[in-house]
Amino acid sequence: MREIVFDTETTGLNPIGGDRMVEIGCVEMFNRVETGRHFHAYFNPEREMPSDAEAVHGLTAIFLSDKPRFSEKAEELLEFIADSPLVAHNAGFDFGFLNFELERCGRSAVCMSRMVDTLSLARSRHPGAKHSLDALCMRFGIDRSQRVKHGALLDAQLLAQVYVELTGGRQIGLGLVAETREVAVSAASRPVTIREPRPARPHLAAAEELERHRAFISKLVNPLWARFAAAG
pLDDT tens digits, one per residue of 150-171: 899 999 999 999 999 999 876 5
Task: Tally the domains of the chain.
Answer: 1
Q: Which domain holds residue 128?
A: 2-172
How many residues are there in the chain?
A: 232
Residue 100 dihedral angles phi and psi, to the nearest 5°: -60, -45
- Give residue 140's pLDDT: 94
Asked if residue 186 is part of any domain, the answer here is no
CATH code for the domain of 26: 3.30.420.10
Asked if residue 39 is part of any domain, the answer here is yes
CA proximity to 125, closest of 182, 168, 188: 168
> If residue 193 lies in a helix (H) or strand (E), which one and from where to where?
strand 192-193
Contacts of 68 (CB under 8 A, 6+ apart): 41, 43, 44
**CA 134 – CA 120 distance, rounded (Å):** 16
DSSP string computed for 9-43: EESSS-TTTT--EEEEEEEEEETTEEEEEEEEEE-
Asked if residue 227 is part of any domain, the answer here is no
- Give residue 87's pLDDT: 98
Indicate if 89 belongs to the active site.
no
- Give residue 80's pLDDT: 98
Bridge pairing between strands 2-10 and 21-30: antiparallel
The catalytic position among 131, 150, 203, 213 is 150
pLDDT tens-digit map of 36-70: 999 999 999 999 999 999 999 999 999 999 999 99
Per-residue pLDDT of the chain (232 residues; tens, 9 = 90+): 999 999 999 999 999 999 999 999 999 999 999 999 999 999 999 999 999 999 999 999 999 999 999 999 999 999 999 999 999 999 999 999 999 999 999 999 999 999 999 999 999 999 999 999 999 999 999 998 888 778 999 999 999 999 999 998 765 444 444 433 333 334 444 555 566 676 766 667 778 888 888 888 888 888 777 777 666 5
Asked if residue 225 is part of any domain, the answer here is no
Q: What global pTM score does this model have? A: 0.72
Asked if residue 231 is part of any domain, the answer here is no
- Give residue 188's pLDDT: 42
Asked if residue 199 is part of any domain, the answer here is no
Q: Is 168 helix (H, G, I), strand (E, B) or coil?
A: coil
Asked if residue 187 is part of any domain, the answer here is no
- Give residue 11's pLDDT: 98
Asked if residue 217 is part of any domain, the answer here is no
